[in-house]
Structure 1
Amino acid sequence: MLEKPNLPDEKIINCLQSEFGLSISELEFLPLGADPNTAVYRAITKNGISYFVKLRMGNFEETAVTLPKFLYEQSIGNIIPPLETQTGQLWGNIGDFKLILYQFIDGRNGFEMNFSAHHWHKFGATLKKLHIAEIPPLIKNRIKVETYSPKWRDRVKEYMGIIETKSFVDSVAIDLSAFLKLKRDEIFDLLERTERLALKLGADSPPFTVCHSDVHAGNILIDENDRFYIVDWDNPILAPKERDLMFVGGGQGFRGHTAQEEEILFYEGYGEAEINRFVLTYYRYERIVEDIAVYCDELLSTPKGGEDRAQSLEYLKSNFLPKGTIQVAYQADKTGLFS
Structure 2
Amino acid sequence: PRLLRAAGVAQVVPPLAARDGRLHVPLCRQAGGLQLAVFAYITGRGGADAPLGREQWRQFGATLRAVHQTPVPEPLRRALPTWQEPGEVGRWLQRALPVWRRQKGRTAAARALIEVIGVRYDELQALTARMLALHQRLGERIAAGELRCALCHSDAHVHNLMVDQQERVWLIDWDGASWSPIERDLMFVIGGLSADLLRPHETEWFFEGYGPVQIDWPALATCRYAWAVTDVHAFAIEALGERDEARASSSAAWFERLFAPGEIVALAREGEAWL
What TM-score range do you get, normalising by the shorter chain? 0.7 to 0.9
Q: Match of 2:214?
A: 274
Whether 1:295 and 2:235 are equivalent positions in the alignment is yes
2:255 to 316, 320, 336: 316
**Percent of aligned pairs sharing the same letter:** 25
User: How much is the aligned-residue C-alpha RMSD, in angstroms?
Assistant: 2.3
**What SS does the aligned partner of 2:166 have?**
coil
**What SS does the aligned partner of 1:79 have?**
coil
- Alignment map for 1:36-47 (pairs within 5 Å): none
C-alpha separation in 2, matches of 1:78 and 1:319:
31
With 305-314 and 231-240 compared, the bigger mean Cα shift is at 305-314
C-alpha separation in 1, matches of 2:26 and 2:247:
25
Consecutive unaligned residues of structure 2, counting only runs of 5 or more, are none
Q: Match of 2:164?
A: 223
Q: Match of 1:80?
A: 13
Q: 1:278 to 1:121 in 2, by over 3 A?
A: same
C-alpha separation in 1, matches of 2:101 and 2:197:
41
Q: Match of 2:62?
A: 125
TM-score, scaled to structure 2: 0.87
The CA deviation at 1:229 is: 0.6
2:86 and 2:226 in contact (8 A); partners too = no
TM-score, scaled to structure 1: 0.72
**What SS does the aligned partner of 1:289 have?**
helix
1:115 and 1:254 in contact (8 A); partners too = no
C-alpha separation in 1, matches of 2:195 and 2:19:
38
- Alignment map for 1:182-261 (pairs within 5 Å): 182-205=119-142, 206-252=147-193, 258=199, 260-261=200-201
Q: 1:172 to 1:306 in 2, by over 3 A?
A: closer
Q: Match of 2:23?
A: 90
C-alpha separation in 2, matches of 1:92 and 1:74:
24
With 74-83 and 279-288 compared, the bigger mean Cα shift is at 74-83
C-alpha separation in 2, matches of 1:257 and 1:294:
22
AA paired with 1:82? Answer: P
Structure with a larger share of its residues in helix: 2
2:17 and 2:24 in contact (8 A); partners too = yes
C-alpha separation in 2, matches of 1:75 and 1:328:
35
1:320 and 1:326 in contact (8 A); partners too = yes
**What SS does the aligned partner of 2:205 have?**
helix
**What SS does the aligned partner of 1:141 have?**
helix
AA paired with 2:186? Answer: L
Q: Match of 1:265?
A: 205
**What SS does the aligned partner of 2:274 have?**
coil
Q: Match of 1:6?
A: none
The CA deviation at 1:120 is: 1.5
AA paired with 1:270? Answer: Y
The CA deviation at 1:320 is: 1.6
- Alignment map for 1:141-180 (pairs within 5 Å): 141-147=78-84, 150-180=87-117
Consecutive unaligned residues of structure 1, counting only runs of 5 or more, are 1-67
**What SS does the aligned partner of 2:79 have?**
coil
Q: 1:70 to 1:306 in 2, by over 3 A?
A: farther
C-alpha separation in 1, matches of 2:19 and 2:258:
44
C-alpha separation in 2, matches of 1:323 and 1:256:
10
C-alpha separation in 1, matches of 2:258 and 2:87:
20
With 309-318 and 207-216 compared, the bigger mean Cα shift is at 309-318
Aligned length: 267
